[in-house]
A and B are shown apart, each in its own frame.
Chain A
Amino acid sequence: MNELPQQLVNGLLLGSMYGLIAIGYTMVYGIVQLINFAHGEIFMTGAFGALTVYIYILPDGTSMLIALPLMILGAVIVSVTVAIGAERFAYRPLRGGPRLAPLITAIGLSLALQQAVWAWYPDAKSARTFPQIEGGPFHIGSITLQTGSIFLLIAAPVSMAFLGYFVMKTRTGRGMQATAQDPDTAKLMGVNTDRIIVIAFALGAVFAAIGGVAYGLEYGHVDFKMGFILGLKAFTAAVLGGIGNIYGAMIGGVVLGIAETLATAYIGDIPGLGQFGSQSWADVWAFILLILVLLFRPQGLLGERVADRA
């Protein structure tokens, strides 16, 4: 049986997850040139926010059709609160200081958030199960899809389209583009840059929250460490796509996801490379791809379209 279509779908799903998180990295970087390493944890707290809504707020046995929108809402509220709080109390006091100060703060914040969830969320010391949508799996030709994956397949492009519209068409979005190009001039033109920065953090958090819910539905559990590796991968995706470019983040994510999946599936079949084909080598291949892309396009896949930075 030909497994290529299924593997491409696997890669697309993984990549969409990377992309949703990568948007947060890229928006914040585009505007304040800060690599927000705590973003993976914003994603993680979002997932726990959704879990909280389902377990502790909704009555037992609520249908997922009703629960899901509320869970997304809960995830968004938690993620956005954490992100805005981080911006206000951890990053804003350091704005204008040396570049490394906010970077180190971000790493510290990432650890602090992980440990806070570990210590205070009930039973979060090991993985917690996440509610699943009933039904499925669905078979389309040789492709099998889980119900949880369908949420991700719909959510990622819809949120992307929404973000594109927001950045290109709305007044705030244009303010973001202006701030990204030149914060000082934007300020002189009457753009409230402080507000724009908060909005960039908040928007990134919204996407991370949707990613968090998608993660829970896809893998069936959430844990306090889930944001760390995924955050690093998403950051890689943002760089691959051209950091600062919102479409680049999504495309970088999908390219990275598909590259990892195909490396797992097919490198081992190439004669002589058998031992480099397993999943434990997939990251190596993904990063070789990253290096190759950056050698020829140091600005990333879509990095040139500076005007779209937001």
Chain B
Amino acid sequence: MRQRSLIAITAALAAGALTLTACGSRDDDGGSDSGNGGGGGTTVVIGVDAPLTGDLSALGLGIKNSADLAAKTANKDKHVEGITFKVEALDDQGQPSVGQQNASQFVANDEVLGVVGPLNSSVGESMQQVFESGNMALVSPANTGPSLTQGPDWRTEKKRPFKTYFRTATTDAIQGPFAAQYVFNDFKKTKAFVIDDKKTYGAGLAGTFTDEFKKLGGKVVGTEHINPDTKDFSAVATKVKNSGADVVYYGGEYPQAGPLSKQIKGTGAKIPLVGGDGIYSADFIKLAGASGTGDLATSVGAPVEELPSAKEFVANYKAGGYKEPFEAYGGYSYDSAWAIIEAVKTVVEKNDGKLPDDARGQVVEAMQNVSFDGVTGKVSFDEFGDATNKQLTVYAVENGDWKAVKSGTYTG
């Protein structure tokens, strides 16, 4: 018996060793490849961090594909002479802890010069410090938490905490109030029931919505924090029904927002649900079912499909043969990746067509001054790393699809 287990252990060890050797030799190959490639062209990896599996994967895969499209377009057009871009995507499962591990992995990979992502503000929070230490640019197409760029005291004193963090998305500080103005002024609803999921994104959005809604003269008739792990919101739905609210504002994402909307309507109450860009997904409509018609979402930027600059993106995305739709953040992800490409271009051109030794640091510096016409409009960053483009759009569910209702810029 003992001998048998000895054999088993030996076999396992041998197998393990073989696997390790295999890895080793593959690494060697990789090394020599890029060594040879030095003459013809350098490979620059653009990292992507997004939830590629799980509830939020619909949005995450859209981010990954769009960044990939940007890299392919740059390669095809030889946008940066001598540089080949490659996208490497890691899955953060929407979890801050996983995101942080991914961040370390990106920083450890010398070929990575910048990363597009993540989707969730809470994940972004956990990644920022790692990128700051690695002096590498992180460009989020979707993070909307104000404190990420303006510091924890952004309401009173704005102070940029990380100089390596940028985003192409607008913040909740703008999105929440924008939604409040639309709900109160255009949608003519005065009694709101505010629900959030207690996460960085959801609670932030619900907070800024509440402040503006009250300022306009609306009444918040109830608040509730849901548990994002469950799908049973019947108790909350009954509370909403009996609160006399004529609109529900939900700060959070579609995996909960869909069932929540469905269950609120299931009580017999015809109360529309309004949310942020986190619910602006085809999956929301799927989960909310037929009763979701009339629900609203705000999302950053003008509708991608309607911008003239976006037509080309939409066409190329279709031609690229991606299996998943580009979803809410497709255009922003493309622009985020393109911002990295532009920054690399600046750095390379300044250094006689070659990558300098401290390429990462220089890319971060160049990023600050990037300015180009992207899919979502003019892309550039202000002194906090926020997008200078502050456009937002309200969408409504109509015939099983999101329809743009109103587009505008929030001005205080």
Contact = CB atoms under 8 A, between A and B. Distances in A.
Interface of A: 1, 3, 6-7, 10-11, 13-14, 118, 125-127, 129, 132, 137, 139, 144, 146, 219-221, 223, 225-226, 229, 260-262, 264-265, 278-283
Given A118-B53, A264-B239, 15 more contacts: A14-B234, A125-B53, A126-B54, A126-B55, A126-B283, A127-B255, A127-B286, A127-B287, A129-B287, A129-B289, A139-B268, A265-B238, A279-B226, A279-B235, A279-B236
A126 B232 contact: no
Given A139-B268, A223-B55, A7 B227 contact: no
8 contacts: A7-B238, A10-B235, A126-B56, A129-B287, A225-B55, A261-B235, A279-B235, A282-B235
Contacts of B272: none
A10 B233 CA distance: 9
Interface of B: 53-58, 197-198, 223-227, 229-236, 238-239, 241-242, 255, 258-259, 262-263, 266-268, 283, 286-287, 289
Contacts of A265: 235, 238-239
Contacts of A280: 197-198, 225-227
Nearest to B266: A146
Listed from nearest, the 8 A-B pairs whose CB atoms lie closest are A278-B225, A264-B235, A10-B234, A261-B235, A280-B225, A144-B268, A279-B226, A3-B242
A3 B58 CA distance: 37
B231 A219 contact: yes
The A contact surface, by secondary structure, is helix
Contacts of B286: 127, 129, 221
B259 A220 contact: yes
Nearest to B289: A220
A265 B57 CA distance: 32
A134 B109 CA distance: 55
A229 B226 contact: no
B262 A127 contact: no
Contact of A7 (B223, B229, B235): B235
A14 B238 CA distance: 14
B259 A219 contact: yes
A240 B84 CA distance: 61
B231 A282 contact: no
Contacts of A220: 259, 262, 287, 289
A10 B57 contact: no
Contact of A132 (B54, B233, B258, B289): B289
Contacts of A137: 266, 268
